[in-house]
């Protein structure tokens, strides 16, 4: 599974990239608002830090404007992935942009048939929102499983990008089902490496080493 981080905080992205944990980044208008900086500046800086896809979202609602905005975003850096909403206009724009060789992430997916349509439109990534389905008492993981089965049935190349991930268990379950990518907040990505028994074992090793009176240096 590939790991993307869902943030527009360049400092957080740099820290995780330096640790070798990142395969890409996803942003959205809400994250850009939180960062409180010009969008193009943020995306350009992120693309300098991360070699993998960096999703940047259009704000237009009509196909022609989505295409126009998408090409502007893609002009920022070679690894920009144009993020489009899962609407009919968005799928038309997806077909056009992927046909021209651009990376496209179709976002706000909440059903398997939506994901099927995005794959038929040539989407590079489909972003089903797990947490938001859980919020309304639906099973987000069931959606991931349904999309995986449909894509495997027909040999679609579109990658399943599990989004709106809230917990470590979301990551584990998405990986078991076969999601290609998980995009997670920085705090969740850091938490994936933690376990109380790891901390306990390390404390014991260090205490025993100190008791030997030795030094590696």
Task: Quote the CA–CA distance of 186 and 198 in Å, as a whole number.
Answer: 20
Please name which of 55, 38, 48, 57 lies closest in space to residue 14, comparing C-alpha atoms.
Answer: 48
Record the pTM. Answer: 0.94
- Which one is catalytic: 2, 34, 71, 83? 83
Amino acid 10: pLDDT? 95
Domain ranges of the chain: 2-212
pLDDT tens for each residue of the chain, 217 residues long: 999 999 999 999 999 999 998 999 999 999 999 999 999 999 999 999 999 999 999 999 999 999 999 999 999 999 999 999 999 999 999 999 999 999 999 999 999 999 999 999 999 999 999 999 999 999 999 999 999 999 999 999 999 999 999 999 999 999 999 999 999 999 999 999 999 999 999 999 999 999 999 999 8
Please name which of 190, 130, 185, 192 lies closest in space to residue 5, comparing C-alpha atoms.
Answer: 185
Amino acid 136: pLDDT? 95
Tell me the H-state helices in 80-217. Answer: 88-99, 112-120, 130-135, 140-154, 168-177, 186-191, 196-212
Assigned fold of 2-212: TIM Barrel (3.20.20)
Known catalytic residue: 83?
Answer: yes
């Amino acid at each position: 599974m590939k790991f993307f981080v869902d943030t527009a905080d360049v400092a957080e992205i740099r820290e995780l990239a330096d640790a070798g944990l990142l395969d890409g980044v996803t942003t959205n208008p809400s994250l850009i608002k939180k960062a409180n900086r010009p969008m193009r500046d943020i995306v350009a800086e992120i693309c300098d830090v991360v070699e993998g896809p960096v999703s940047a979202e259009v704000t237009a609602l009509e196909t022609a404007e989505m295409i126009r905005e998408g090409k502007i975003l893609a002009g920022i850096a070679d690894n920009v992935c144009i993020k489009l909403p899962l609407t009919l206009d968005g799928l038309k724009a997806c077909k056009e942009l992927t046909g021209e060789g651009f990376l496209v992430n179709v976002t706000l997916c909440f059903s398997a048939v939506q994901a099927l349509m995005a794959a038929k439109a040539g989407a590079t990534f489909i972003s089903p929102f797990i947490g938001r389905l859980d919020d309304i008492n639906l099973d987000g993981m069931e959606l991931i499983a349904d999309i995986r089965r449909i894509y495997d049935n027909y040999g679609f190349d579109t990658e399943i990008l599990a989004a709106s991930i809230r917990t470590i268990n979301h990551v584990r379950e998405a990986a078991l089902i076969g999601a290609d990518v998980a995009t997670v907040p920085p705090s969740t990505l850091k938490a994936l490496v933690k376990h109380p028994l790891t901390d306990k074992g390390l404390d014991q090793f260090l205490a025993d080493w100190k008791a030997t009176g030795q030094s590696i240096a």
